[in-house]
A and B are shown apart, each in its own frame.
Chain A
Amino acid sequence: MPLLRRLTSLLGPSQAARELQWIKKHALQARLSVEDLVDRRMRDEPLQYILGTQPFGPLDIRVRAPVLIPRPETEHWTIKLSEAVSPTPAKPFRLLDIGTGTGCIPLLLCHLWPKGSVSACGVDVSDDALTLSRENAKAHGFERGPVDLELRNTFQAVRANILDPAFTTSVDPPYDVVTSNPPYIPFHEYLDLPRSVSRFEDPKALFGGPMDGLDFYPAIVKVLTQDGFMNRNGIVALEIGHQQGEDVHKILKQTGKFKEISIWNDPWGKQRTVFAKM
């Protein structure tokens, strides 16, 4: 069967035509067989893993199974965050990204904010994610050097688990901004995930807990409301699942430590990000 027709049976005509174009282009550059790549796609492998990259803002982020593929919703709020607050080289930010995966969030912020205005730390529990985020930082020139003389933004990856009581000591606070796209899919929705997600992407990056998928938010909030963890006027941006806005809003509000809490919608009209100022 012709390649386009095979892909059409999986994706519909217009998506199939576009994906085939991207696959062909990649096959040509990487000297791979188009047929092999289409075979992989037909077995539900995400296009992004097949192509090895996903554009995220103006950056091309390397992706590799099983590290979570950057989503357009995340791209959207990260760009919005970069406009909502703006550090300067005179008043630089320290940024912590919890569950950094490919490193896409802090790396895009490193790219969008002025040179020398941010030093970012991405933490993850997965070795695959730590390796990949370091590769991405290097590819975009944000890896931390032994001595940085010129004005630049930097990223470093650190192994740490937000659920571990020793988390705080391993990340060297204080921070000005904390971002996170923690796992938030509840169990009953996990069972209905498309196979390209559930079979290829790391469950540790997706599964948010057996009940409501909200296990990680109280843990994150508990850490960052500790005395001395955040600098004055600290900023928090947390991605949430499509029905978790109210719950996560409440988790932050209960602490009494936030001056302002708002919920941002994604481009598809779903509540997607809880943004808060301390």
Chain B
Amino acid sequence: MSTPEDIASLRILKETEPLREAWERYTKCNETLDDTRALLDDPDETMRSMASEEYNSVQEEVEELVTDTLPALLIPPSPTGNLGALIELKAGVGGAESCLFVVDLLRMYQRFLENSDYKYTMVSTNEIEQGGIRDALMEVSAPGAYDLLRWESGVHRVQRVPHTEASGRVHTSTVAVIVLPLVTEQEAQSQQLYRMEDVRIEVMRARGAGGQHVNKTESAVRLTHVPSGITVSMQDERSQHQNRRRAFQVLQARLMDQKVVRDMADKRAAKNNLVSGVDRSDKIRTYNYAQERVTDHRIGLSLMNLSSVLEGDGLGNFLTALQKNYRESLMEQMLQGN
């Protein structure tokens, strides 16, 4: 019989297996290098050139192991690695033009997710009469979606001549994006994110006599988490029950988000980390139409192909670069002994 300790050690063994493999490959490579080095001065020319060829290729492998493979394996697995995401977009500065940019950003995420085979559901969209969307909420439930998209949180700025602008003047507008970690009901309970008695549930509007007297849909629900003051209103679904379920999903995601931020602060992870050090209210990216340019201000990366970003393929470049940046900052912290 295996004891709980055995199981724990076995799990550690299993989790560290890739590390062991990489280390073994590294040692093997070094042995090969030692063996081949002697042959580099071999009197036979054919032998010399074969040796030098092998030496170079093995050296390349060592370099890759040292700079990429091993460091990546040393980073502890992400505690949020299995979570899906809720993406919230909200029009900011710029009125109707900002609402139009919400539509563009929404399409950018939708295209990107479609191209990467992530399924998404639109939870709610709040359209305005002139065209455009004031705010939208989408759910990407696949595990890993949160870690993939989390660095999209922040203020996105657009510089362009709005369709509505007759004089051809360039406007600057903003849209706030918030990516929240999606947790299941069970996870929320096991993480003790909230206590049910701390949540006030209100139904919106009076129904008069109610019951058989009324068949109008009155399904809006508002939740208030009293200790944190977080409120969530949901009214896009056709029933009480559905709106309530959605509202709890958003509340759980908000509370989980607070927990993730708190945990990071506790670990001082923000210290040398460009990305997580950015406040939600800071502008993180600019989309400049005249210059066909998208710049991410946190990592100083500019792509000179705005349409490819908005059509969905280019966004992947930013996500990869931000991911890399985050890993590097985690590595730095480890080296500094945090």
- For A185, give its contact among B207, B212, B218 (CB under 8 Å): B212
Pick the 4 closest A-B CB pairs, nearest first: A55-B239, A267-B203, A72-B240, A242-B209
List B residues 213-230 near A (Cβ within 8 Å).
213-219
Given contacts A48-B215, A267-B203, contact A22 B238 (CB under 8 A): yes
Secondary structure of the A contact surface, majority rule = mixed
A19 CA to B209 CA, complexed, in Å: 22
B271 within 8 A of A: no
Check B239 against A75 for contact (C-beta < 8 Å): yes
Check B239 against A47 for contact (C-beta < 8 Å): no
Interface 9-mer from A143-151, A170-178, A194-202? A194-202
Given contacts A4-B129, A72-B218, A72-B219, contact A266 B211 (CB under 8 A): yes
B→A interface (CB under 8 Å): 125-127, 129, 201, 203, 206-207, 209-219, 235-242
Interface contacts (Cβ under 8 Å), in number, total: 98
Q: Give the Cβ gap from B107 to chain A, nearest Cβ, in Å.
A: 18
List A residues 8-51 near B (Cβ within 8 Å).
14-15, 17-19, 21-22, 46-48, 51
Q: Give the Cβ gap from A256 to chain B, nearest Cβ, in Å.
A: 28
Which residues of the other chain, B, contact A181 by a CB distance below 8 angstroms?
Answer: 212
Q: Give the Cβ gap from A38 to chain B, nearest Cβ, in Å.
A: 16
List A residues 194-214 near B (Cβ within 8 Å).
194, 196-197, 200-201, 205-206
Given contacts A17-B127, A58-B241, A79-B241, contact A268 B210 (CB under 8 A): yes
Check B207 against A268 for contact (C-beta < 8 Å): yes
- For B216, give its contact among A183, A194, A201 (CB under 8 Å): A194
6 contacts between A and B (CB under 8 A): A14-B235, A56-B239, A75-B241, A241-B212, A242-B210, A268-B210
Give the nearest-CB partner of B236 in chain A. A18
Which residues of the other chain, B, contact A73 by a CB distance below 8 angstroms?
Answer: 210-211
A→B interface (CB under 8 Å): 4, 14-15, 17-19, 21-22, 46-48, 51, 54-58, 68-69, 71-76, 79, 181, 183-185, 189, 193-194, 196-197, 200-201, 205-206, 239-242, 266-268, 270, 272
Check B211 against A267 for contact (C-beta < 8 Å): no
Give the nearest-CB partner of A69 in chain B. B215
Q: A72-B218, A181-B212 are in contact. List 11 more A-B contacts (CB 8 A).
A: A17-B126, A51-B238, A68-B212, A69-B215, A76-B240, A185-B212, A194-B214, A197-B213, A242-B209, A267-B240, A270-B211
Give the nearest-CB partner of B202 in chain A. A267
Which residues of the other chain, A, contact B217 by a CB distance below 8 angstroms?
Answer: 15, 18-19, 47-48
Given contacts A58-B241, A75-B239, A267-B203, contact A193 B210 (CB under 8 A): no
Given contacts A189-B209, A268-B206, A268-B210, contact A71 B237 (CB under 8 A): no
Check A71 against B215 for contact (C-beta < 8 Å): yes
Interface centre among B215, B218, B236 (most CB of A within 10 A): B215
A34 CA to B140 CA, complexed, in Å: 29
Given contacts A47-B217, A48-B215, A197-B215, contact A270 B239 (CB under 8 A): no
A181 CA to B242 CA, complexed, in Å: 22
Which residues of the other chain, B, contact A242 by a CB distance below 8 angstroms?
Answer: 209-211, 213
Check B127 against A193 for contact (C-beta < 8 Å): no
A168 CA to B216 CA, complexed, in Å: 36
Q: Give the Cβ gap from B52 to chain A, nearest Cβ, in Å.
A: 67
Which residues of the other chain, B, contact A76 by a CB distance below 8 angstroms?
Answer: 240
